[in-house]
Amino acid sequence: MTTPVDALGGVVNACLLTPNVVTGGQPSASNLAALGAIGGAIVLDLRDPMEPRPLDEPQSAKAAGLEYINIPVTPSTHDDTTLERVLDVLRGAGTRTVFVHCGSGNRVRGALIPWLILDLGFNEEDAVNQAMRVGLRSAELMQWGLDYARRNRPAAG
């Protein structure tokens, strides 16, 4: 049986983060077609639309039967609104497979730290370790995700 990671063969830093969330760098049109063929549902692109790309990703995703969502993660969008939009997509996906990507996978992992903590119950150290395991290399992105999670963690009762 082909897995989402198999479908994303050749994508830099492709990694199955959870059973329904796969992360990585820029996919090709054939990666998107393979992901669609195995039942993938959503492509969450964290790249700025102005970044150079090897394909028309929204069109390639649509042709593969995938929902395409773009939420740019750039130095000017490191804010709560951006993280809330990312969380909304992940929370709304249910059991559907989501492929979250940027150019290399670095931005993805910082943006997913709050989801790991707030939604999956990871402690901070485990969330950071998981994010680093799958490609996080930026202290700034790590801190952005941690700060959001700390501010939005439910109060201990």
Report yes or no on 115 lying in a domain. Answer: yes
What is the span of the domain harbouring residue 82? Answer: 4-152
Q: Does residue 88 form part of some domain?
A: yes
Q: How many domains does the chain have?
A: 1
Residues 10-36 as b or e (16 or more Cβ within 10 Å = b): ebebbbbbbebbbbbbbbbbebbbbbb
Residue-wise pLDDT tens digits, 14-70: 999 889 999 999 999 999 999 999 988 999 999 999 998 889 999 999 999 999 999
User: pTM here?
Assistant: 0.93
Q: Is residue 157 part of a domain?
A: no
Residue 76 within any structural domain of the chain: yes
Per-residue pLDDT of 3-15, as tens digits, reads: 898 999 999 889 9
Q: How many beta carbons lie within 10 A of that of residue 115, not counting itself?
A: 23
42: which strand partners? Answer: 67, 98
Which CATH number characterizes residue 96's domain?
3.90.190.10
